[in-house]
Amino acid sequence: MSNTLTLTQQLIAYRSLTPLDEGCLPLISARLAAIDFKIEMMRHGNVDNLWARRGESGPLLCFAGHTDVVPTGPVEKWHSDPFTPTIRDGLLYGRGAADMKGSLAAFVTSIEKFVAAHPQHTGSIALLLTSDEEGVAVDGTVRVVQALQARGEKMDYCIVGEPTSVAKIGDTIKNGRRGSLSGTLTVKGVQGHIAYPHLVKNPIHLASPAIAELAAVEWDKGNEYFPATSWQISNIHGGTGATNVVPGTVEIEFNFRFSTASTVQALKDKTHAILDKHGLSYDLVWVLSGKPYLTPRGKLVDAISAAIWKITGITTELSTTGGTSDGRFIADICPQVVEFGPLNATIHKLNECVAVADLDTLSEIYYATMVNLLTNKT
């Protein structure tokens, strides 16, 4: 049984439902402390965070991830207990196996191997781990990043262990993510009896032309790495529940998934310009969940791509699809951020699993990446 498999099983056994850690970080910290990492626990609210670093010089390569997992769903529909790691037909089952306790285990075992082989390696290695990624994500990675910013500590490279592979381990890495900007638009009208249209102003009718224009706008054309920015309505709320009353307001919730081809301010300005053009009386509350980030081809992308090729023979694909990740916070203090981990086919599902063989492959890829970045060897 491999070290990576054993550690993954130990981590799965902790019921670390977000935002609880339940012992994962102490287990990892003990192993890192044994190879001369400086350990800092940063607790915010009810969230446990870890910043661990070995070395003082640059470049600094950070591995980032989370110990928390999403709820299991109906336990009776799992083929085995979700917190009892179980191997069947070459697959390791358990909540968090793919997202992302397998990656965390591979981080640790690859670092242990690297430090043993290269005790005087150049630069520094760090881990940034949190128990608040699957939830609201306000006391996790973002808090650690703020603390590092306050003391002027920056990273050169960061690998986030999100499950990015699609069909085979190593076939896809994420070199960026779109931003997420949400708005709650309240269009105001005049409530009244539906039989007296001359005495009312129907806010649903008033908003409709503006909605149509917002849906038709080409916000940008995207770029080499990102698709065009998308504007989508998620919810519309209007009406009193009665069939004979025109409502006084309609509330429209929408979201931009936007690329680096647009800025937050430009999206806001254009939205307000369209609403104003249609003469609407409205309130609009904005919430920025995450800015887009992008790591073009360079040292980190080249290093991990070469490592994947060496270990698997696969030419990896760069992708920016999917939702947000904690990479959006880390990009504030790190110019090169990528995400790479095991297959994502079962994440958040019943019977989440990871191929046992992929765990050692993942550890070997992380190890080879460190060799490429922190030694003079290739």
Which tokens hold the place of 323? 């939702």
What pLDDT does residue 322 have? 82
What pLDDT does residue 377 have? 61
Give all strands (DSSP E) within the chain, no chain letters.
38-41, 49-54, 60-66, 86-88, 91-93, 124-130, 157-160, 172-174, 176-177, 179-188, 192-193, 230-238, 245-246, 249-258, 282-290, 293-294, 317-319, 337-339, 353-355
Q: Rounded to an integer, what distance in angstroms lies between the CA atom of residue 105 and that of residue 92?
A: 13
What pLDDT does residue 137 have? 84
**H/E element holding 141?**
helix 141-150
Which tokens hold the place of 19? 């935002």
22, 68, 134, 139: which one is catalytic?
68
133 is a catalytic site residue:
yes
Which residues does 9 contact at the CB level (< 8 Å), separation at least 6? 85, 92, 94
Q: What is the pLDDT of residues 336-360, one digit of tens each?
A: 999 999 999 999 999 999 999 999 9
Q: Rounded to an integer, what distance in angstroms lies between the CA atom of residue 95 and that of residue 72?
A: 7
99, 112, 133, 326: which one is catalytic?
133
81 is a catalytic site residue:
no
Q: What is the pLDDT of residues 10-52, one digit of tens each?
A: 999 999 999 999 999 999 999 999 999 999 999 999 999 999 9
Q: What residues of the chain score a pLDDT lower than 50? A: 378
DSSP for 260-282 reads TTS-HHHHHHHHHHHHHHTT--E
What pLDDT does residue 55 have? 96
CB atoms within 10 A of CB 9: 20
pTM greater than 0.85: yes
What pLDDT does residue 290 have? 84
What pLDDT does residue 335 have? 95
What pLDDT does residue 378 have? 46
CB atoms within 10 A of CB 77: 9
